[in-house]
Each structure stands twice: as C-alpha cells, then as structure tokens.
Amino acid sequence: MNFTTEIKPKNKWYDIDFKAIWQYRDLMFLFVRRDFVSVYKQTVLGPIWFFIQPLLTTATFTLIFSVVAKISTNEIPAPLFYIIGLTFWGYFSTCLTSTSSTFVTNAGVFGKVYFPRLIMPISIVISSLIKLSIQFLLLLMVWLYYYLTTDILHPNITILLMPFYILLFAGLGLGFGIILSSLTTKYRDFTFLIGFGVQLLMYATPIIYPLSLLDDQSYIIKSVVKYNPISGIIEAIRYGLTGSGVFDLGLLAYSFVFVIILLFLGIITFTKVEKSFIDTV
C-alpha cells in the first residue's frame, strides 16, 4: 500500500523535502505580508520609518567617521559611501539576526502545527528584501543627487550584477542565521554571541572604510577582511555604482562558493534540528 507520509525518528541528511516547501508557498508569502504589515501597524509614519532609520544612521556615520575621524572614503562623497555600506550591511544583519531566532520566537506556533520549518527563515529573508528595496530607493536618490551635481561618479556595466550581489547577501544571512538558530535552540549562549558578534563583524567588513585603506596594514588584518565573504560583495557594489572600489572576480567567486557551502551546511543542520527541537527549546 502507498503511504503519503512516513514519520521516522531520524531522517537521512539528504532527506530534505523541497517539494513540501513549494506546496506551502502561499504560507510563505502570507508570512512575508504579516512581517511587513505588522511592523508599522499603529504607527503614524508607517513605512516612512524605513527611510528615517538609514538616513539618520548615515548622517551620524558621516559626522563621526568622516568629519571627526577623517577616515578616507576613496573620493566618494561620504554620505553616499556610508549609505551604500549601511543599506546592504543592514540587509545582511537583519536577515542573520531575525532568522537566528527562528526556533525560539516561533516555538509557540511550531509546537502546535507542522509545516516545513524552513518557510519561516525564508519568509524573513524575503520580507527583509522588501525593506531593502525601499532603502535602495533612498540610496538611488542620494546617488542621483551626486551624479547630477558632481562628476566624480563613474557607474559602469558591472552594476548589472546587483541581483546576484543581493542573492549572495540573502544566502549569507540565511545560511549563518539558520545554523545559529539550530544552535540557539538548545544552548541559549549563542543569543549573546550573535548580539555582539554581528557588531564586531561589521568592523571586519569594509563598511566604514574602503578596502584600499588596508593596503599598508599588516598581513593578518588584511586577510581577515579579505577572506570575510561580505567584503568582496560590498566593494563590488561600490565599484559598480561609483567606479571607485575593488571589483575582484576571484573574491566574488570565493563569496559565491562560501554561500553555497554555508547554505548546504545550514539546511542540513536546520532540518536535523527541526524534527524535535520542541523538546529542548
């Protein structure tokens, strides 16, 4: 006789039900909608908050790192330099922090009903994408202002790789997030680690400084930043938009391979943990 579902104590590591995820796609989009809509319910300014936040951060960064600390921005106007870095870093860090708490925050729902658990982190990545696109609009406005008023920006054809860059960010955020969420389930120690870990990682990424600033630094510092898979992507985006930055195909390929391996490991640990996490959460 044929059975549609079989429940076993443990699945094989490659036993990942992608078909079920596809079947539940409606749920995924409803979660995306919920995350997006519920954020600005009962606020007056609504989605405008998505603009205000990066605007103020960019202003603060410009003031502190450029005006006060005088860190070079490689000829790019400081506000544009920071807003590029912050928009994409913001996307990566929201993806990571929100997906990393998947099991803990959704224990209530997960404890009552089954649906492919991966739906949750994927929906977070997608709803953050909406936020990213709103903030990207702001970035474009700033860019357009400098493009029209000065002649220091030299956008080029590599900017067409933008969707690929965004996919890489999504993959990095999701990959790190689901691995961490699997670990946080049993040992909450990781929640503390994620809190300051993300902040530390930002300083190891060329967000507030250009990669070229490290040329005369020691080898260790240089390689830490260089082998950080986010660095190459951020620099490539800057290069595409302004003509100043590092476009290194080797670094991008490295990031790409990194994302593939990360996602692979992430999905395996996630599906292993999701089966009975409710007993230890």
Binding site for another protein (CB under 8 A): 1-10, 24, 26-27, 30-31, 33-34, 37-38, 41-42, 108-115, 186-187, 275-276, 278-280
Q: Write 198-205 long-range contacts (CB < 8 A, 24+).
A: 198/93, 198/96, 198/97, 201/228, 201/230, 202/89, 202/93, 204/228, 205/89, 205/230, 205/231, 205/234
Tell me, what DSSP letter sits at residue 14?
T
CB nearer another protein, residue 150 or residue 280: 280
CB nearer another protein, residue 38 or residue 218: 38
CB nearer another protein, residue 104 or residue 202: 104
| Whole-number Å distance between alpha carbons of 144 and 151 | 11
Q: Nearest approach, Cβ of 51 to another protein (angstroms)?
A: 21
CB nearer another protein, residue 33 or residue 154: 33
Task: Provide the CA 225 distance to its chain's centre, in angstroms.
Answer: 17
* Single-letter residue type at 279: D
Q: What angle do CA 271, 276, 280 make, to 5 degrees?
A: 120
Residues whose CB falls within 8 Å of the CB of residue 116, separated by 6 or more in sequence, listed in order: 17, 20, 21, 24
Q: Nearest approach, Cβ of 189 to another protein (angstroms)?
A: 10
Q: Nearest approach, Cβ of 159 to another protein (angstroms)?
A: 36
Q: Nearest approach, Cβ of 50 to another protein (angstroms)?
A: 17
Q: Nearest approach, Cβ of 46 to another protein (angstroms)?
A: 13
CB nearer another protein, residue 88 or residue 110: 110
Measure CA of the first residue to CA of the last residue in the chain; give whole Å: 37
